[in-house]
């Protein structure tokens, strides 16, 4: 394969890595690997205040990594890109495998 043919894929991968580069965003995605969670659940599990949580979720939505679903006044988030699940699972295996729950 011609290396120049990989340029678009490299750019897409770099953009994804920029999205993952913030610890709070990465924690949100790690929490969503097991399935959909409400904003309240995410805040409780991660101990992140309302404003920073909203900012991180807004960035993840803008980057196309998560989608929101509203049920009444509750907003639920889930991961929409399969490659995000693969990468976050790999990062968990590499960095968190020895941690206890």
pLDDT at position 101 is 54
Q: How many domains does the chain have?
A: 1
* HSE-up of residue 16 (Cα within 13 Å, Cβ side): 18
Q: What is the CATH number of the domain that holds 50?
A: 1.10.10.10
pLDDT at position 61 is 97
pLDDT at position 77 is 98
Give the pair of three-digit tokens for residue 49.
Answer: 């205040």
Where in the sequence is the domain holding 90, given as residue range(s)?
22-95
Supply the pTM of this predicted model.
Answer: 0.88
Give the pair of three-digit tokens for residue 18.
Answer: 């920029």
* HSE-up of residue 88 (Cα within 13 Å, Cβ side): 25
Residue 12 lies in a domain: no
Give the separation between CA 101 and CA 91, rounded to whole angstroms.
16
């Amino acid at each position: 394969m011609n290396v120049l043919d990989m340029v678009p894929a490299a750019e897409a991968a770099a953009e994804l890595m920029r999205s993952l580069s913030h610890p709070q965003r990465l924690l949100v995605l790690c929490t969503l690997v097991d399935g959909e969670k409400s904003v309240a659940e995410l805040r409780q599990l991660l101990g992140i205040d309302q404003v920073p949580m909203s900012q991180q979720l807004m960035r993840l939505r803008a980057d196309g990594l998560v989608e929101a679903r509203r049920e009444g006044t509750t907003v639920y988030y889930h991961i929409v890109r399969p490659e995000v699940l693969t990468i976050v699972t790999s990062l968990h295996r590499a960095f968190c495998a020895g941690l206890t729950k």
